[in-house]
Amino acid sequence: MPKKKKINKNKDSIHPSSTESPDKYLLHYLKSHSDKVVSKATILKKMLSKYSLEVSELAINILHEQSKIDIIGGNKVKLTTKSSGKNHVEGKIDMTKTGSAFLMSSQLDRDAFISNRNLNTALDGDTVIANIFKKSSRPEAEVIEIVKRNKTQFIGTLQVSDKFAFLACNSEKMPFDIFIPLAKLKGAKDGAKALVNIVRWERDMKNPEGEVLEILGTTTNSDLEMKSILIDKGFSISFPPSVIEESEAISEIISKEEIAKRLDYRTITTFTIDPADAKDFDDALSIQRLPNGNWEVGVHIADVSHYVKQGTSLDKEAFERSTSVYLPDRVCPMFPERLSNFICSLRPDEEKLCFAAIFEFDHQHKIKTYSFGRTVIKSSKRFSYEEAQELIEGKESEFSEDVLMLNTIALTLRKDKIAKGAITFEAAEVRFILDETGKPIDVYTKERKEAHMLIEDFMLLANKSVAMYVSKLKVKTKSVPMVYRIHDVPDMTKLQNFSEMAKRFGHNIKFEDPKNIAFQLNDFFKLIKGKPEQNLLEQLGIRSMAKAIYTTTNIGHFGLAFDYYTHFTSPIRRYPDVMVHRILEECLAEEKPPLSADELEEQCVHCSNMERMAAEAEREATKYKQCEFLMDKIGTEFDGIISGIIANGIFVELKDNKCEGFVPVMKLGYDSFIYDENNFTLKAKSSALTYRFGDALKVIVSKVDLAKKQIEFELAEDVDF
C-alpha cells in the first residue's frame, strides 16, 4: 500500500465555498459503487466538475488517512471493508483443470495458489483483489473481491430434468456447472448444445445461475468449436440488443452540411486494395498529380468516430471487444455488420466519410509536406490484392499509371525504412481452402507480394505521421496524452538462444551490438530464403522478439525502426485506432483531448490484453482446422522437419502445409533416449541414433484428437539400429 501522506485536515481551508465537503462527496460516490474498485482517474474526472484538482486529490488523501478507503496499486480506490489489509493485491485468476487456481499479479514475486474453496466465485481470467494469507516458498491467497469478470458466457451441453437444468461447460477451465431455471431454457431440451449467460452468483450459492442465450443444437462440431474458442477467450459471439438498436438507428445518408465541412475527394482517383473475401474496407488511397509536378497521395481511413460517439452502447461494446477476431472460417467483428460492412466500409461507387493523412511527394518520391483532415471520398475501384498485383506486373488498365506510381513511391518508403533498421521478415501465415460445410480441403501459406507491401507501406507512413504529429504538439502548453504502439528491443538471452537454434542448421549468427541486431537479422533471413528451414527459423526469430503493446509512454518501435508509431488506419477492427482518431480530432480543433493519460493507459492495457486473447483464439482455431484437415489422412506419409524436442518426444512440422504434430519417444526406435536440453537433441543410449532440432524426416499421420487439438505422427520407416 502506498505511504500515507500527512495532510491538512482543516476542511474549511480546502473548500470554503462548497456546500458539501469534497471528502464527503467522494465517500458518497464510492458508497454508490461499493462493489467496485474505481480508478483514481475516474474519480478525479467525476470530482473535477465540482472541485479543483488539488482539492480532489486532498479529499482522496483525507479518506485514506482516516482509513475509510484503500488505495490499491497506487492508482485504484475502493471503500475499506473488514477484509481490507496490507496483504491485498490485485491480479488475474489462472484456473487449473482441477478447480483450483493461481493468482498472477505484478505485485507478487511468484504466482499465489488459490484453493477452490478460496475462489469465492472467481473464474478463469477474472481480475480480483486477493488476500495473501500465507507467505512462504509457495504463497497462498483468498479472493476477497471480484473487480471485473473476464466473461459471463459459456457453451456446453444442457442436462434437463423435470424441475431444473444445468449446463455442463465445454471449457476445461470452467469447473462449475451452471444452474438454469426451467423458465430460462428458451425451450431447449436435454442434451442440446447451448450458449448460456451467467446472471447471478452469490458467495452462498454452490453454482452460478444462468439463462440460455442461444440454442446450438443444429450446429456442427467445427462451428461449435469456433464459437467455444471465441467465448473462452472473452469474445461475445453476438451483440446485445442495445448495440444492434444503436447501429440500426445510424443513418447512411451523408448530409450536404457534413460534406461542406470536409475536404472533397469524390472526383479524385481513389481505390481500395484488400483480400478478395474482405467486406470491411477501412482504408483507401487517393492519388493525383499536382500542378507543380509533384504527386499527392491521400491515405483515407473510415471515419468510425463520426458515427460511434464516446460512451454509447456501441462504443462500450467495441471497447470491451477491442478488436475483430479473424478465424479460418469466420470473423467475430468489433462492430455490428451494419457499421463494419456497410456504413463505414469504403465500398466502391459510394460516398463515404473518412479521416485522412495527405502527403505530397517530390520528384525523388520524398515527402515534401503532410497534413491531416476529414474527407469525403467516392472509391473508383475495389481491387483485390491479386488484381492490383497484375497491374504492378504489367497488365493494362485505366488505373495502371496510378497503381504503378503508388508502388514506386512505396518502394522508396520501404527502402528508407529498411536502411534505418526495420526488420523485414514475417512468419508464414497458414490459410485454408474450405468446402461448403467449413471443412478444410487444402492448406497453404499466404504469399506476400508487392501489392500487399504497397498498402502496408502507406499505412505505416500514416500511422507514423499521426504519432509524430501528436507527440510534438502542445495544447495549452501541455503535452497531449497519446496512444502509442511500442515495440521494445529484444532480450539478448532470447537472441542467444535463437543463435543456438540457427547453429543446428549450420548457420553462424552472433548478436553483440544492439544497434546491429535488425541488420543482422535481415541479412540472415535473406540468406535462408527458400531453404527448408526458412519457415521454422522465421517463427523462432519472431518468438525471440518482444511483444508490441499499446501504451501512453513512448519508447519507439524497434521492429519498424520508428521513433514514433501508433495505430490509426483500421478503426473498423481495432479500438485503439478509434481512440487515436478522437485524440487527433481534438488536437486539430486545438481542444483538450477527451481522456486523461491515466484513463488512456487503462484502456491501452485492456486493448493489449484483448489483442493477445484474439491472437490465442486465432492460433487455437488454426490448430483445430489443421486437425480437421488431417482427420481423413490417417496413414498418409508427409515430409517434415523437427521443430521441437522434449524429453518425451519430438515435434514435427510438415513441409507442405505447416501442420505440427508430435512423435512420442516410444515410437522413435527400440531403445531408450537421453534428452540433451543444451544441444536440442534426443540421443539413443545404445546406438549413434540422434534426433536433432531441424532434422528432415518422413512421418505418417497416426492419430488426430479434435477435442484436444492434437496430432500424433509416427516415423515413416523403421529405424535401422
Q: Are residues 327 and 289 in the same domain?
A: yes
**Of 172, 200, 218, the domain-final residue:** 218
Q: Are residues 57 and 97 in the same domain?
A: no
Tell me what pLDDT residue 218 has: 63
The pLDDT tens digits of the residues spanning 460-488 come to 999 999 999 999 887 666 788 999 999 99
Contact 490, 546 (CB under 8 A): yes
Confidence band, pLDDT 50/70/90 cuts, at residue 8: very low
The whole-model pTM stands at: 0.82
Q: Which residue type occupies 629?
A: F
Produce one character per residue of 111-129: b if its CB has 16 or more CB atoms within 10 Å, e if not.
bbbbeeebbebbbbbbbbb
Q: What is the CATH number of the domain that holds 38?
A: 1.10.10
Would you say residue 272 lies in a domain? yes
The 8 Å CB, 24+ separation contacts for 585-588 are: 585/305, 585/355, 586/475, 587/469, 587/470, 587/473, 587/475, 587/480, 588/372, 588/373
Over range 603-615, report the average pLDDT: 94
**Grid cell of 456 as nine digits:** 502496408
Q: Which residue type occupies 43?
A: I
Would you say residue 640 lies in a domain? yes
The pLDDT tens digits of the residues spanning 25-70 come to 888 888 776 556 787 778 887 788 788 877 888 888 888 877 778 7
Q: Are residues 290 and 407 in the same domain?
A: yes
Distance CA(479)–CA(599), nearest Å, equals 15
Q: Are residues 140 and 161 in the same domain?
A: no
The pLDDT tens digits of the residues spanning 644-686 come to 899 999 999 998 888 999 999 999 877 889 998 877 789 998 8
Would you say residue 429 lies in a domain? yes
Distance CA(55)–CA(16), nearest Å, equals 11
Tell me what pLDDT residue 254 has: 96
Confidence band, pLDDT 50/70/90 cuts, at residue 10: very low
**Of 79, 104, 120, the domain-final residue:** 79
Distance CA(438)–CA(421), nearest Å, equals 42
Would you say residue 491 lies in a domain? no
Count the domains in the chain.
5
Over range 270-274, report the average pLDDT: 96
Distance CA(180)–CA(165), nearest Å, equals 5
Would you say residue 228 lies in a domain? no
Distance CA(76)–CA(684), nearest Å, equals 57
Question: What range defines the domain where residue 181 resides?
Answer: 153-218
Q: Are residues 609 and 654 in the same domain?
A: no
Task: Please report how many Cα atoms fall inside a 13 Å half-sphere around the Cα of residue 476, on the Cβ side.
Answer: 7
Distance CA(237)–CA(213), nearest Å, equals 11
Q: Are residues 177 and 320 in the same domain?
A: no
Contact 711, 662 (CB under 8 A): yes
Tell me what pLDDT residue 593 has: 61
Kindly report the backbone phi and psi dihedral angles of residue 129, in degrees, each rounded to the nearest multiple of 5, phi listed first: -110, 130
Would you say residue 39 lies in a domain? yes
Distance CA(277)–CA(362), nearest Å, equals 35
Among candidate residues 532, 535, 492, the one with its CA nearest the CA of residue 511 = 492
| Per-residue DSSP letter, 427 | P
Give the containing element (helix H, strand E) for 698. strand 696-705
Distance CA(61)–CA(4), nearest Å, equals 8
Would you say residue 479 lies in a domain? yes
The pLDDT tens digits of the residues spanning 411-445 come to 999 999 999 989 887 767 889 999 988 899 999 88
Distance CA(264)–CA(256), nearest Å, equals 11
Q: Are residues 390 and 332 in the same domain?
A: yes
Residue-averaged pLDDT of the chain: 88
Distances (CA, A) of 389 to 384, 450, 639, 700: 9, 7, 32, 38
- Count of C-beta atoms within a 10 Å radius of residue 136: 6
Over range 514-535, report the average pLDDT: 84
Q: Are residues 214 and 250 in the same domain?
A: no
Tell me what pLDDT residue 5 has: 37
Torsion of CA 667, 669, 670, 673, to 10 degrees: -100
The pLDDT tens digits of the residues spanning 79-122 come to 776 445 567 888 999 998 888 999 998 888 889 999 988 999 99
Q: Are residues 442 and 584 in the same domain?
A: yes
Tell me what pLDDT residue 516 has: 85
Q: Which residue type occupies 1?
A: M
Q: Are residues 667 and 702 in the same domain?
A: yes
Among candidate residues 53, 7, 2, 46, the one with its CA nearest the CA of residue 25 = 46
Q: What is the CATH number of the domain that holds 656?
A: 2.40.50.140
Would you say residue 527 lies in a domain? no
**Of 79, 114, 139, the domain-final residue:** 79
Distance CA(374)–CA(303), nearest Å, equals 8
Distance CA(425)–CA(537), nearest Å, equals 10
Maximum C-alpha span of the chain: 93
Q: Are residues 105 and 72 in the same domain?
A: no
Distances (CA, A) of 299 to 40, 253, 356: 38, 23, 5
Contacting residues for 175 by C-beta, under 8 A, at least 6 apart: 95, 97, 98, 99, 116
Over range 163-175, report the average pLDDT: 88
The pLDDT tens digits of the residues spanning 287-333 come to 999 999 999 999 999 999 999 999 999 999 999 999 999 999 999 99
Contact 480, 593 (CB under 8 A): yes
Tell me what pLDDT residue 34 has: 56
Strands (E), 584-625: none
Q: Are residues 348 and 443 in the same domain?
A: yes
